[in-house]
Amino acid sequence: MTRYAIGDVQGCYEELCALLAQLKFSPDSDRLWFVGDLVNRGPRSLEVLRFVRALGDNAITVLGNHDLHLLAVAFGSRRKRRSDTLDEVLAAADRDALLEWLITRPLAHLDERGDFMVHAGLVPQWTVGMALELAHEVESALRTDPRALFDNMYGDEPSRWSDRLSGMDRLRFAINVLTRLRVCTSDGQVDLTMKGKPRDGHATLQPWFEVEDRRSADTRIIFGHWSALGLVVRRDLVGLDSGCVWGGALTAFDLDTDRPPVAVSCTGYQSPGSD
C-alpha cells in the first residue's frame, strides 16, 4: 500500500481528479492522506466531499479551519463570509450525511509508521502525544455538543499555551494551533494574524517548525494551511499547501518512497488572500 499525502484541496475537484490520474491512484492498493481544508474558496466543494467520503478507509482526512467553518455555518453558529463557496454543500440533498461524516474526522492522525498529520502545526511545548490528546479533547466536544463548541470556537485568545488552560479556552487554543498556526515564539505565544511568507530576521516570531528544541522534532509531520510557504520537504517535515485555489498547484507526496512530489497546476479561483 502506498500512502499519498495531498495538500489543501479547497473545492478544486477537477485538479484533484487530474492529480490522482497522474498518480495512477488505485483505491484497492493505495491510501490518500488529506491535510485538511477539503472545502471552500474553490468551485466544487460538494464534489470533493462526496468523492473523499466515498473512499471510505482508503482516505484519511484531518479537519482544517475551512472544514470547521463549514460545520459552524451549518450548525447556525456563524454566518457565511462573502468569500465562502459553500452554498452547494449546504443545499445538497445529501448534506446531512456529508456533514455527519465531516464532523467525525480527526484533528490529527498518527499512524503505525510514525508519521503525524495535522492541518497547521504544533506549538514547541507540545509533543506529538500531547497534540493527539488535545485533538481527541476537541473531537469529543464535537461529538458531544457541537453547537456549544462552534458558538465559542472563534477568536484568537488565549494566545499562549499553558497546562493550566481549561474549558473552552483550552479547546479554542487547541483548535487554533492545530488548524490555524503558522508562526509562534519559543515560549508558545502564537500569532494568528500573519498570513504571508515567513519574515526573515524577526526577533521572536518564527515558523512553528523552525523553533529550536520543539518537542515534536523527532516525528515526521505532514501539514498544509500555509499557501504562501509553498511546498516544503525535509526529513522531519512535509508541507503540502502549494496554493491550488489561488492559482498555484495541487501537490501529492509519496510518504513511502523517494519519488519526487507530483503536482498539477490550477487555473485559480480567487485572488490570493486570507486562507
Nine cell digits for residue 38: 477539503
Q: What is the mean pLDDT of each run of 10 residues along the chain (275 residues)?
A: 96 97 94 98 97 97 98 96 96 98 98 97 98 98 97 97 96 98 95 84 84 95 96 96 95 95 88 53
| DSSP state letters, 56-84 | GGGEEE---HHHHHHHHHHTTSSPPPTT-
pLDDT at 194: 86
pLDDT at 57: 94
What pLDDT is stored for residue 101 in this prediction?
A: 98
The pLDDT score that the predictor gives to residue 138 is: 98
- Answer whether residue 38 is part of any domain: yes
Residue 154 lies inside a defined structural domain of this protein:
yes
Q: Quick check: is 156 in a domain?
A: yes
Domain assignment of residue 152, yes or no? yes
Q: Is 235 exposed, middle or buried (0-12, 13-18, 19+ CB in 10 A)?
A: exposed
- Of 228, 238, 221, the C-alpha closest to 177 is 221
Number of compact structural domains in the chain? 1
Query: What nine digits make up the cell of 103?
Result: 464532523
Residue 274 lies in a domain: no
pLDDT value, residue 184: 96
In a domain, 24, yes or no: yes
Does some domain include residue 271?
no
- Residues 244 and 230 sit within 8 Å (Cβ to Cβ): no
pLDDT at 274: 46
Q: Is residue 125 part of a domain?
A: yes
Residue 268 is predicted with a pLDDT of 77
- Domain holding 85, by residue range, is 2-265
CATH number for the domain spanning 49: value is 3.60.21.10
Instruction: Give residue for cell 499525502.
Output: 5
Residue 196 CB coordination number (10 Å): 11
**CA pair distance 258, 247, nearest whole angstrom:** 27
- Nearest-angstrom CA–CA distance, 234 and 222: 10
- Sheet with strand 262-265: strands edge to edge: 59-61, 30-34, 2-6, 249-254, 262-265
According to DSSP H, which parts of the chain are helical?
Answer: 13-23, 45-54, 65-74, 87-91, 95-103, 128-144, 146-153, 167-180
Nearest CA to 139 among 115, 163, 174?
Answer: 174
